[in-house]
Amino acid sequence: MAELIALYVCGLIALFAAVRTVIEPHPYRKLPYLNVMNFAIAGLIVLVLSHPLSILAAAAYFVGSTLEANAIASARAAVMGND
Amino acid sequence: MLADYIQIPIAAALCWILFVTVDIVFRLPEKGGVKGAAAIGRKIREDGGSLPGGTMMGNIVSSPDASAGTLLAACGVYVAGLPGGLAAAALVFIGNRICHDPGYAGTTGAVLASIMVTGFAVLGFAPENFIAGMVIAILTIQGLSHPYASRLLTRIWGWRS
SS in 3 state form for chain A?
A: CHHHHHHHHHHHHHHHHHHHHHHCCCHHHHHHHHHHHHHHHHHHHHHHCCCCCHHHHHHHHHHHHHHHHHHHHHHHHHHHCCC
* ipTM for the complex shown: 0.92
pLDDT of residue B112: 93
pLDDT of residue A8: 93
Interface test with A, best of B96, B135, B145 (most A CBs within 10 A): B135
Q: How many CB pairs under 8 A join A and B?
A: 171
pLDDT of residue B64: 87
pLDDT of residue B143: 86
For the entire predicted model, the pTM comes to: 0.92
- pLDDT tens string B22-52: 989 988 888 877 888 889 999 999 888 889 9
Question: What is the residue extent of each domain of chain B?
Answer: 64-152
Inter-chain CB proximity B62 and A76 less than 8 Å = no
Nearest Cβ partner of A66 from B38, B95, B139? B95
Question: What is the residue extent of each domain of chain A?
Answer: 1-81
Round the average pLDDT of chain B to a whole number and report it: 89
Contacts B88 to A, Cβ<8 Å? 55, 59
pLDDT of residue A82: 56
